[in-house]
Structure 1
């Protein structure tokens, strides 16, 4: 059986267990070849007090041309952190060459968290990402990103008791083009919910994991979830089945991080639990 290939267009952070350092091992464990297209190289993820960053924008088109020469075909394209509007345009040129019938495009629209836009981004980036979202098959915004993209009121949605306003956001985002929208990391009671909407059927769904320990937000957990989802989808699993795997992985890894007193910026020890992703039943 041929191993599915996914082009993973993310940054590479030396510390923080996020982006490519999450995507590559997760996809590999799921029997998927991850083909990294790094957008930037960082000393550590940006949640630390400081970081060094090398923007690789000037190399992305060259990578695209070389891969085109190789005649490679991808079963999936999976995008994450992009350095700005210029990189969004470069990714769109990449898609013009490699996003073919039968290819999955999963966009994780990295823009912000905890109700705020990341300081490195402005409104131009938000508007540019909307064009990428419109081309996607699946998007995985967190609640902040969903509100930014759909012009939602973060404060009111975050304090709601039910998932109704989250699903409403997901439906608005689906109206932009994606066939599946999953709003990730929504806290409701003692659950961290991932609220999904399938635009083809009009069906709403939710898969969650227990909020463990202090309930702190750890670096890379959203990337882990999106990576498991991507791996599952290119292997023919349903979104819900893939999200269930992701929930089990996150519960176990966050429990370990809490028990060890890990700094949230360092991420979670998911490496100890990759076996949950291996095999027919995960």
Structure 2
């Protein structure tokens, strides 16, 4: 009898009871792209489409237990990391990932809220740069997060180019700098590749309030394509296209009273099966 396996993606991220971001967005994205999702919860925010009301921490020891449990039973083909809010949590996650150096990692460095407020302390940012950046195959900061990492204002395309180059020097393998906050007619992002080349992507902007969880969705989509054995550049390209389409198909839908979610299931794929060797 032949046996098969699914491409598995582990999401290490925070909770979103409204279903638009965090682990919930990751579960939807990974599933919609034909992969099998597993999860490790790092924090429990109480939130909806209008904002975050409070955040409850998950003990670091519990996060470690979750990681050990998943890796012992279902080692992932790729990992996506989202909300990591303490230096201790950074070190626990980095230590586990370093045990599996061949598993590709996508890190969405969640540092700034939609309101513009920093979500993590400087000590955590330092730990992230030191311990997680070298392990991640690609990091996916937005312009506000890039401004913190590059220690400069990031408000234009030229700023993005300079900031991406500076962030790459922090020890990253590659950087996808998202330009969703640009005040332009097109959405532009830059991919600073491992070979030092820079690739520019442009997408049409839509008139919509439904952007909640777009960063989570993008990073988990890239991880899903890496789990399917696409190259990093292919995964970055396909991941951005998936998010663009998910925004397009949700642009006129009303869910909640604030920033609504994307349509993750605009074209859902069946679970992919690979024959076990």
- Scaled by the length of structure 2, what TM-score is found? 0.83
Show structure 1 runs of 4+ deviating over 6 A.
277-280
Quick one: higher RCO (CA 8 Å, sep 6+), 1 or 2? 2
In the other structure, the counterpart of 2:199 is 205
- RMSD between aligned residues: 2.9
In the other structure, the counterpart of 1:21 is 24
CA distance in 2, matches of 1:112, 1:47: 16
In the other structure, the counterpart of 2:172 is 178
In the other structure, the counterpart of 1:167 is 161
Q: How far is 1:165 from its partner?
A: 2.5
Q: Does the 8 A contact of 1:135 with 1:177 survive in 2?
A: no
Q: Tell me the alpha carbon deviations over residues 102-156 of structure 1, each in whole angstroms, 9 at most, x when there is no partner.
A: 31011111101569343x4221222122121232111001111111112122xxx
The runs of 5 or more residues in structure 1 that have no matched partner are: none
In the other structure, the counterpart of 1:90 is 92
CA distance in 2, matches of 1:197, 1:212: 25
Q: Does the 8 A contact of 1:218 with 1:265 survive in 2?
A: no
Matched residue pairs, number?
A: 267
Q: How far is 1:55 from its partner?
A: 2.4
Larger CA deviation: 103-112 vs 244-253: 244-253
CA distance in 1, matches of 2:48, 2:126: 24
The within-5 A match list for 1:1-282 is: 2-44=5-47, 48=51, 50-51=53-54, 53-67=56-70, 69-70=72-73, 72-97=74-99, 99-100=100-101, 102-113=102-113, 116-118=116-118, 120-131=119-130, 132-153=132-153, 157-158=154-155, 160=156, 163-186=157-180, 187=182, 189-200=184-195, 202-213=196-207, 216=209, 218-263=211-256, 265-275=258-268
CA distance in 2, matches of 1:110, 1:82: 7
CA distance in 2, matches of 1:60, 1:279: 27
The runs of 5 or more residues in structure 2 that have no matched partner are: 273-277
Q: How far is 1:68 from its partner?
A: 5.0
- Scaled by the length of structure 1, what TM-score is found? 0.81
Q: How far is 1:253 from its partner?
A: 3.7
Q: Does the 8 A contact of 1:140 with 1:183 survive in 2?
A: yes
